[in-house]
């Protein structure tokens, strides 16, 4: 009888493990856009570029020896239902020249997209914005710096705008995986 109960217990345990594995696989497919049955990701339409306030910029450290200073106005930050973190990044020179970029950041894929540029007091939309790798350009470093300093939570999107701002204001840089 004990041997029979032992086999029964083993069969029940195997069944429970199998059910748990199936459940984990189902959850993984729901959150993993690379899974075969996962629905294809669709980007929400980006809203027009928001206004920004030069007096409220939170610094993003891109290059300590660089001639440009970068910052984000927290009021421009938004986390879309599509998982895209959208923001306005402002670049300023020591001579007073300024430009801004309205962009989106996909933490899960390590990509950014430029929607519009701000020059001479107006926004100019990019005609056909494309997603680009954060590591693609050695010249454009600020999207990766933003992702590392608070724009992303590892490969996950941040849980709130407040979390992004808190991480930007803290001196520690988070690790963004390659």
Greater confidence (129 vs 33) lies with 129
CA distances from 15 to 6, 20, 25, 41, 111 (A): 14, 9, 15, 33, 41
**In the chain, domain spans:** 1-40, 54-169
Q: What is the mean pLDDT of residues 2-7?
A: 49
Binned at pLDDT 50, 70 and 90, residue 12 comes out as very low
Contact between residue 106 and residue 84 where contact means Cβ atoms under 8 Å apart? yes
pLDDT digits (tens, 9 = 90+) for 60-116: 999 877 789 999 999 999 999 999 999 999 999 989 899 999 999 999 999 999 999
pLDDT at 15 over 50: no
What pLDDT shows up at residue 63?
83
Contact between residue 66 and residue 91 where contact means Cβ atoms under 8 Å apart? no
Greater confidence (127 vs 23) lies with 127
Whole-number average pLDDT of the chain? 81
pLDDT at 30 over 80: no
Contact between residue 130 and residue 120 where contact means Cβ atoms under 8 Å apart? no
The answer as to CATH 1.10.357 being correct for domain 54-169 is no
Report how far apart the first and last C-alpha atoms of the chain are (Å, whole number): 56
pTM: 0.74
């Amino acid at each position: 009888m004990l041997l029979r109960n032992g086999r029964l217990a083993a069969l029940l345990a195997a069944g429970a493990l199998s059910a748990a594995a199936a459940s984990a696989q189902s959850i993984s497919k729901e959150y993993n856009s690379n899974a075969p049955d996962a629905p294809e990701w669709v980007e929400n339409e980006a809203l027009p570029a928001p206004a920004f306030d030069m007096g409220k910029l939170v610094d993003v450290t891109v290059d300590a020896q660089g001639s440009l200073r970068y910052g984000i106005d927290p009021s421009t930050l938004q986390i879309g239902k599509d998982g895209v973190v959208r923001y306005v990044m402002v670049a300023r020179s020591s001579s007073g020249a300024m430009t801004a970029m309205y962009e989106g950041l996909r933490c899960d894929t390590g990509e950014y997209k430029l929607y519009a540029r701000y020059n001479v007091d107006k926004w100019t939309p990019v005609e056909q914005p494309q997603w680009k790798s954060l590591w693609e350009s050695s010249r454009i470093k600020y999207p990766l710096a933003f992702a590392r300093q608070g724009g992303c939570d590892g490969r996950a999107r941040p849980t709130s705008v407040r979390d992004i701002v808190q991480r930007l204001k803290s001196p520690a840089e988070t690790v963004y995986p390659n």
